[in-house]
Amino acid sequence: MAWSAEKLARLQQTFSNATGGDLQDPKGQRIAEKIFSEGGRRPAPYAGMPTLLDAPHIAFADGEDISRLDVALYGVPMDLGVTNRNGSRFGPRALRSIERVGPYNDALECAPIHEMLVADIGDVPMQSRFDLTQSHADIQDFVSKIIAKDVIPLGVGGDHSISHPILKAVAKNGPVGMIHIDAHCDTGGSYEGEKFHHGGPFRNAVLDGLLDPERTIQIGIRGAAKYIWEFSEMSGMTVVEAASITDANLPHIIAKARDVIGDGPTYFSFDIDSLDPAYAPGTGTPEVGGLTTREALKLIRGMKGANLVGGDVVEVAPAYDPTTNTAQNGAQMLFEILSLMQFSPSRTSN
C-alpha cells in the first residue's frame, strides 16, 4: 500500500506528543514505566556517584541493612594472587566508571536493576594490602554476611583467586556446580610454595568439597598453559576449548552446559581473559584465539533459568587498555549475569 496522508495523520496523532517513555507495545511500555519518570525523563548516566551498573548504593560495610535485596553487587579490589601482570585491583573502580550498560536486556527481555532489588554494597574491606591469606579471609567473611541475609552475591574482582574464598561462603551447605568462562582452567597446583594463587582456585574448591566437578563446565580454554590443567578432566569437569567454539555448535555447547549443571545450585564465574585480546586487552594473562563478545553473550544468555546462587567477573586490569573497552565488556558481562539472576530459582523474592 502506498504511503498516504492518512497514514501520516495516524502517526502524527499517535506520536507527535509522545515522550520517550510512551510506547505502544505493551512489553516495551512495561519496561518504560520502570525506567522513565514524568515528562520522559531518565537519570543521566554520566551524573551522580558511579556504582556498579548504576545500581543504588548501600554502605554494607558501615552497617546498612541489605536483607531486602535480591542481589548484592560488590567489589573485590585485590590482586595479590596474580602470576603475571597485576592491576586487577582496579577492576571494581573501572567497572563503576562505565556509564551506560543496560538498563534493559533486549535478549532476555528484562531490566534487572528495575525489576529486582539490587544494590552496589561497596567493596570488601581488606585489612591488609600485602597479605593474600588475610585478604582471602576478609573476602570469605564479607560474602558470608551477604549469604546470611539470603541475598545472592555478585562480585567484581580482582584476580581469580577471589573465587575460592567466595565459594567457601556460597557452598556452606554443600558443593555447588559452576559455569566457568575463561581462557584458563585455573586448576593448577602450588607455584613456588603458594597454592592459593589465581591459577588454582577451582582445584582448591574441589579439594575442599565446595565445588562438584561433575557439575562444572569450563568454556573457552586455550593457550600455552593447557598442559597444567589435567586436574579439570581427571576430577570430572567438562572442558570446552575455545578452538571448538563456532556459531554452528554454540547451541550444542549451551545444551551441554545446561545438562552438566542440571537444576542444582550453580556459581557463575566469568574471567575477562576468556575474550580475545582484541576485545579485552586489559587483563593480566591475555590469550589470543579467544571468544568474541557476541559468542560470550550467546553463551551467557543461553543459561537463562539456571539455578544461580552467586557469581563473579574477574581479572579486568584497566591500566593495560587506554580505550576502556575491557571495562566496558566486563560491565556488560556483569549485567548479563545479573540478568540471569532475575530468572534464578534461588531468588528469595519475585
Please state, in angstroms and as integers, the Cα–Cα distance from residue 342 to each residue in 12, 116, 306, 328, 339, following that order.
37, 7, 10, 22, 5
Strands, sheet with 238-241, edge to edge from the N-terminal-most edge strand: 118-123, 71-76, 152-157, 308-314, 266-271, 176-181, 211-221, 238-241
147, amino acid identity? I
Q: Where are the domains of the chain?
A: 5-35, 52-342
Fold classification of 52-342 is Arginase; Chain A (3.40.800)
233-249 pLDDT per residue, tens? 999 999 999 999 999 99
User: Over the stretch 292-337, which tens digit does the pLDDT of each residue have?
Assistant: 999 999 999 999 999 999 999 999 999 999 999 999 999 999 999 9
Using the predicted structure, report yes or no on whether residue 53 has a pLDDT greater than 60: yes
Q: Which cell numbers in the block locate residue 127?
A: 585489612
What is residue 3's predicted lDDT score, i.e. its pLDDT?
80
Determine the pLDDT at residue 350. Answer: 40
pLDDT in tens, 244-264: 999 999 999 999 999 999 999
- For residue 116, the one-letter residue type is M
Mean pLDDT of 119-130: 97
What pLDDT, on the 0 to 100 scale, is given for residue 1? Answer: 53
Full-model pTM: 0.96
